[in-house]
Chains A and B, each alone.
Chain A
Amino acid sequence: MSGSSIRVDLQLIADMVDPGARVLDVGCGEGVLLDYLNRFKQADGRGIELSMAGVRAAVAQGLSVIQGDADTDLKDYPSGAFDYVILSQTLQATRNPKLVLRDLLRIGQRAIVSFPNFGFWKVRLGLFFGGHMPVTQTLTYQWFDTPNIHLCTIADFIALCEEEGIVVERSVSLDSKGLIRFDAGGRLSNWLSEQAVFLLRRP
């Protein structure tokens, strides 16, 4: 099935998870990260995925995944049920990111959130000079078919965390190849990073 190599942003998330943790991966897709966490971090991993195709693929691998929607189904979970709740590349596709964020930190002791950075220089220049909605390696959709209805920049996200009183424990942002990493809170990261990963906790 899967080897020990996963996408760089997923690896960054996995590195933030303590071994043996209880983890809920919201928007887990076919369960690549969950499988990695179960195998290499001995995690008790569960997943929620919107697409049935993703759910079927994950469950057929033996992962504990349910079909569900981050916007509507997180409310079922009891508070503090997980050590980490992960939302990978999904926040921008939720209808109410602020409520989802609150739920993540209600259900989990910590939340790990990754998202594409709309403040990335190529995105800015693309719109500024090209005049079209940006299409990049992390923003692959056209404006008319994108599920990404709540895109934000790193600066936006940090502002929301401040407004919500959420503590940023760690943050890492990446250039397009995932090779160069920044502290997402740094001055230039909002320009230079294509995506960011935040480790969050309640105050």
Chain B
Amino acid sequence: MSDIHSQDDQGAPLPGHRLVLGADKPLHLDCGIDLAPVTIAYSTYGRLNAEKSNAILICHAFTADQYVAETHPVTGKPGWWEELVGPGRILDTDRYFLICTNVLGGCMGSTGPQDINPATDQPWCLNFPVITIADMVRAQVRLIDHLGIAKLFCVIGGSMGGMQTLEWASRYPDRVFSAVPIATAARHSSQNIAFAEVGRQAILADPDFRDGDYPLYGVQPKRGLAVARMAAHITYLSETALQRKFGRNLQGRDTITYGFGADFQVESYLRHQGSSFVDRFDANSYLYITRAMDYFDLAGDHGGSLANAFRGTKVRFCVISFTSDWLFPTYESRAIVHALNAVAANVSFVEVESDKGHDAFLLDEPEFHATLSGFLEGAAEHRGLPRKKETA
């Protein structure tokens, strides 16, 4: 294994680290394939203590990546959880060692369908094996092994990151001290799968998709990927949030135009979301990662009983949901809590009042932050980690 600075396809360096699992250490996937080589691109913040007891693994959501708290190398925007990370902040870099990996199948340095298949010397494209949430976690486990960390202080993540968090706690309970699944579910619901399918079909219908071989032709199914993003983006918001932000306001015009241009601000906003997304995300990755979420069913993996996924667990859980999240509604979180209660697990559960929809976990929500802070302080105390420094 080697740990070197990563490079993107053009050879320009991507910030952060990467771990390469060579052909002698393949990753055994749920689909039965042994994948090698595998690159795991990751960012870290803070320092690992001598006991290696202060590590927090942050699991990113579907279209996010490992750039949690630094300027994004492609978009130039701040990290997606920049507000939470830093000295004295909730994810306190003075006390904790934070790790975030780009997920397996992703397109920010970790192995995915855009990488070269060593058997053919061509990009994998749709020959890349179908991966699962468990496979993403397996890759993370290899990194944690590599870093010599026996037990993570905390695994935390929202949305798809919450699925990884649940998978970690369920499959590797001895390696997780505490777990914070946020705005997530123990399975993709029928509606979730339906939305994912709409996105995939938009990509598949783009003539530039070329059966997934678009990298060989030097093109990208930009329109399809943009439509997929537009549809998905609506599910991350709420009607209230959209109405407040845009209402029926017109975009750069005084009257409707009796045409199909972006008359309304909300249209213009969505178009922008779609077109900027294609600059930083790969269409094949979109297919693979949505599929991984569709296949996620923690109860299904345990004889139909979610409680069985957590039997005997010593992990301290904090489950958090948001009132206006209709993509991963509170009842999905409650199902997790009921399963944890059934095995008398140590669990906290807060439904945060917010009208900002699913994306609330990425936004400035004081109640959410207070919950997270309280839980982490309590967990740190039980783990014997230092308390937060009092600011003068």
Contact = CB atoms under 8 A, between A and B. Distances in A.
Chain B interface extent, by class: 20 to 34
Contacts of B316: 64
B347 A81 contact: no
Which of B346, B349, B373 has the largest number of chain A CB atoms within 10 A?
B349
B344 A60 contact: no
Interface stretch (B27-35, B151-159, B375-383): B375-383
A52 interface: yes
Contacts of B367: 56
A73 B343 CA distance: 13
Interface stretch (B56-64, B127-135, B196-204, B334-342): B334-342
B374 interface: yes
Contact of A52 (B341, B342, B351): B351
Contacts of A60: 370-371, 373-374
Nearest to B337: A66
A56 B347 CA distance: 13
A76 B350 contact: no
Contact of B350 (A46, A52, A78, A81): A52
Nearest to B373: A60
Contacts of A141: none
Contacts of A67: 349-351
A77 interface: yes
B318 interface: yes
B342 A64 contact: no
Between B346, B347, B353, B378, the greatest number of chain A beta carbons within 10 A of the residue's beta carbon is seen for: B378
Contacts of B353: 52
Size band of the interface chain A makes with B: 20 to 34
Nearest to A24: B344
Contacts of B240: none
Given A56-B367, A73-B338, A73-B341, A62 B374 contact: yes
Interface in B347-392: 347-353, 367, 370-371, 373-375, 377-379, 381
B264 to A, nearest CB: 35
Contacts of A55: 349-350
A52 B353 CA distance: 9
B375 A62 contact: yes
Given A52-B350, A52-B351, A63 B338 contact: no
A81 B370 contact: no
Nearest to A74: B341
| Max chain A Cβ within 10 angstroms of own Cβ: one of B344, B347, B381 | B344
B357 to A, nearest CB: 18
A135 interface: no
A82 interface: yes
Nearest to B338: A76
Contacts of B342: 76-78
Given A56-B367, A76-B341, A76-B342, A62 B350 contact: no
Contacts of B375: 59, 62
A64 B348 contact: yes
7 contacts: A46-B346, A55-B349, A60-B373, A62-B379, A66-B319, A66-B348, A68-B349
Given A64-B346, A65-B348, 12 more contacts: A46-B346, A52-B351, A55-B350, A59-B371, A64-B316, A65-B349, A66-B319, A66-B337, A66-B341, A68-B349, A76-B342, A77-B341
In the complex, the 7 A-B pairs of residues with the closest C-beta atoms, listed nearest first? A62-B378, A60-B374, A81-B344, A66-B349, A76-B341, A60-B370, A59-B348
